């Protein structure tokens, strides 16, 4: 058998190589029979075939491992831009410019109107009354349960408020807030303020401004609860009428306002003037703290007030806290200096995007000299059931000691040899639980007499709330509130006696616009 006439080459294609193996060519292609190969020749050819098969397999594997070329298609060409109708475009431009001119000439440029409604239902355990509060007044005395006097159950909620703002050329702004019947004063104008830019961050402010004290706000949309905490209602001042500045200094935002305190006009002989200020410092995007104070005279007597508060809001959690103290000279129930200290903390958690749970705890100590201060109205007493041994202005003249029965002068009007008595009706605030407490005289006749006139109530309150967001502009609030005093300072209308505690339940709908 002749030797093969070809050798495998790495350059041969796999197909050629396969044909070569299947049809080997020999040097002698004649029809004569070939000689029988020897064993050695057969083994050599077998070894050669094995080698050629191995090389062929290797080449096929390398060919299969080579990735197929990626064909990148060009992105489709963008659609042709729509043609612009120049005539239509010019018509729209002229119309918009005419509208802007009309708005500016009519005074509506930079003009904004907003507000809210917050009708509220309150059930008062001691008053034994449940009622919707909406556009009701705040007249009457605290102990007249038939009136709509101010109290924590009849505070600034339950009204209609509208806010009008106007931004002028040059950056000046004017703002007025109208709140019929529920403002912090005797007028429906809750706030009326002008802001004038000066240099840098400094601005001048002039007008009437609600007090900046504490973490709570006067407006219901900004409140977590329905009712306000004890410090807001019975601690700090209400408003200032005057002028001041706002500016930034040492990383803090400052606001100052000097003028009339809690009054629109100062009265000769009874000065109500001083300074109100606030500073706020942001610690980060989630938290910060602030402080405020008021110093001057209210009702002709020196008044000093100060507080610090903090806030934290991150994710589903909200925390607020406040500490405060004040002193008002010669304004307590017994004629001495009135003072108070207090604290309030609040926590809120979003249970779902719509439901939020709220809890608040308050502490208010107004016990010195029988209690009192600028946030209280303690009426005079009339003949009734309290022994005349206290420092009271019975005739309402403003002078204590000008008629019998004042300064502890005993009165025996009927000549029976027994000191006559005066009523508890106006002594303290028995609707909100402040002032000297009452005690049962022990006769079993349900007769209550004044306790220690030099000792006022120490008050606490726990408020639990649940809020449901109806929409971006509507909120439904539910609240239970438990108030407690260390004295019998809550009058129970049905039992005609006095208790140490009271409970409220409230529902409020807030719609803002």
Residues near 67 by beta carbon (within 8 Å), at least 6 away in sequence: none
Residues 384 and 449: beta-carbon distance below 8 Å: no
pLDDT of residue 446: 85
Taken in order of first residue, the domains within the chain and their CATH numbers are: 1-58 (no CATH), 110-379+432-437+447-512 (2.40.160.10)
pLDDT at 472 over 70: yes
pLDDT confidence band for 23 (50 / 70 / 90):
very low
pLDDT confidence band for 77 (50 / 70 / 90):
low
pLDDT of residue 64: 61
Q: Say which residue, 401 or 289, is predicted with more confidence.
A: 289
Look at 103-107, 113-117, 231-235, 483-487 and tell me which has the smallest mean pLDDT: 103-107
pLDDT of residue 43: 72
Look at 92-96, 126-130, 231-235 and tell me which has the smallest mean pLDDT: 92-96
Where do we find the tokens 């059930």? 123
pLDDT confidence band for 85 (50 / 70 / 90):
confident
How far apart are alpha carbons 182 and 270 in whole angstroms?
25
Q: Which helix (H) or strand (E) holds 107?
A: none
pLDDT at 80 over 50: yes
Look at 34-38, 135-139, 372-376, 457-461 and tell me which has the smallest mean pLDDT: 34-38
User: Got the DSSP string for 382-438?
Assistant: -EEEEES-S---TT-SS-TTSSTTSTT----TTSSSS--EE-STTSSBTTTTBSS-E
pLDDT of residue 37: 62
pLDDT confidence band for 458 (50 / 70 / 90):
very high
pLDDT of residue 25: 42
Average pLDDT of the segment spanning 302-324: 97
According to DSSP H, which parts of 167-289 are helical? 230-234
- CA 60 to chain CA centroid, Å, is 76
pLDDT confidence band for 160 (50 / 70 / 90):
very high
Q: Say which residue, 399 or 513, is predicted with more confidence.
A: 513
In this structure, are strands 355-365 and 120-124 parallel, antiparallel, or unpaired? unpaired
Phi and psi angles of residue 134, each rounded to the nearest 5 degrees, phi first: -155, 115
Q: Say which residue, 471 or 237, is predicted with more confidence.
A: 471
What are 321's strand-pairing partners?
Answer: 310, 345
Burial class, 400, CB count within 10 angstroms (exposed 0-12 / middle 13-18 / buried 19+): middle
What are the pLDDT digits (tens) for 323-342? 999 999 988 887 889 999 99
According to DSSP H, which parts of 299-355 are helical? none
Residues near 163 by beta carbon (within 8 Å), at least 6 away in sequence: 113, 114, 115, 175, 176, 177, 178
Q: Which helix (H) or strand (E) holds 52?
A: helix 39-65
pLDDT confidence band for 230 (50 / 70 / 90):
very high
pLDDT at 26 over 80: no
How far apart are alpha carbons 249 and 254 in whole angstroms?
7
**DSSP 8-state symbol, 360:** E
pLDDT at 31 over 80: no
Average pLDDT of the segment spanning 220-246: 95
In the predicted model, what is the mean pLDDT of the chain? 82
pTM: 0.75
What are the pLDDT digits (tens) for 255-274? 999 999 999 988 777 789 99
Q: Say which residue, 383 or 94, is predicted with more confidence.
A: 94
How far apart are alpha carbons 277 and 256 in whole angstroms?
4
pLDDT confidence band for 2 (50 / 70 / 90):
very low
Average pLDDT of the segment spanning 400-412: 48
């Amino acid at each position: 058998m002749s030797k093969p006439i070809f050798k495998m080459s790495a350059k041969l294609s796999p197909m050629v190589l396969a044909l070569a193996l299947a049809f080997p060519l020999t040097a002698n292609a004649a029809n004569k029979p070939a000689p029988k190969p020897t064993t050695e020749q057969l083994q050599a050819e077998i070894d050669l075939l094995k080698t050629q098969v191995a090389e062929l397999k290797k080449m096929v594997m390398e060919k299969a491992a080579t990735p197929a070329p990626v064909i990148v298609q060009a992105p489709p060409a963008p659609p042709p831009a729509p043609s612009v109708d120049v005539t239509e475009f010019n018509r729209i431009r002229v119309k918009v410019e005419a509208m802007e001119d009309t708005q500016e000439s009519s005074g509506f440029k930079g003009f904004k109107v907003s507000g809210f409604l917050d009708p509220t239902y309150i059930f008062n355990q001691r008053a034994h009354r449940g009622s919707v509060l909406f556009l009701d007044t705040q007249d009457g005395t605290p102990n007249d349960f038939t009136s709509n006097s101010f109290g924590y159950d009849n505070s600034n909620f339950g009204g209609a408020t509208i806010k009008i703002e106007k931004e002028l050329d040059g950056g000046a702004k004017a703002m007025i807030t109208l709140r019929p019947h529920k403002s912090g004063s005797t007028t429906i104008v809750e706030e009326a303020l002008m802001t004038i830019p000066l240099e840098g961050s400094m601005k001048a402010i002039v007008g009437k401004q609600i007090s900046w004290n504490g973490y709570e706000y006067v407006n219901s949309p900004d409140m977590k609860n329905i009712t306000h905490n004890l410090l807001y209602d019975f601690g700090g001042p209400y408003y200032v009428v005057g002028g001041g500045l706002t500016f930034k200094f040492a990383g803090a935002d400052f606001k100052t306002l000097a003028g009339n305190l809690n009054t629109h006009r100062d009265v000769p002989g009874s000065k109500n003037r001083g300074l109100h200020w606030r500073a706020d410092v942001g610690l980060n995007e989630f938290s910060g703290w602030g402080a405020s104070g008021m110093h001057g005279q209210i009702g002709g007597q020196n008044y000093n007030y100060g507080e610090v508060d903090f806030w934290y809001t991150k994710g589903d959690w909200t925390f607020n806290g406040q500490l405060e103290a004040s002193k008002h000279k010669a304004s307590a129930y017994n004629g001495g200096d009135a003072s108070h200290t207090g604290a309030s903390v609040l926590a809120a958690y979003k249970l779902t995007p719509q439901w939020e749970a709220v809890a608040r705890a308050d502490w208010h100590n107004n016990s010195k000299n029988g209690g009192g201060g600028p946030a209280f109205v303690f009426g005079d007493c009339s003949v009734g059931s309290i022994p005349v041994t206290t420092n009271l202005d019975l005739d309402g003249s403003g002078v204590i000691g000008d008629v019998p029965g004042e300064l502890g002068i005993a009165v025996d009007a009927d000549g029976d040899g027994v000191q006559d008595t005066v009523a508890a009706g106006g002594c303290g605030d028995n609707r909100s639980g402040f002032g000297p407490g009452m005690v049962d005289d022990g006769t079993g006749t349900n007769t209550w007499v004044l306790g220690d006139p030099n000792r006022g109530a120490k008050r606490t309150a726990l408020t639990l709330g649940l809020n449901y967001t109806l929409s971006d502009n509507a909120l439904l609030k539910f609240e239970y509130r438990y108030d407690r005093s260390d004295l019998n300072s809550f009058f129970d209308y049905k039992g005609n006696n006095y208790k140490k505690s009271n409970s409220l339940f409230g529902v409020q709908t807030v719609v803002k616009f």
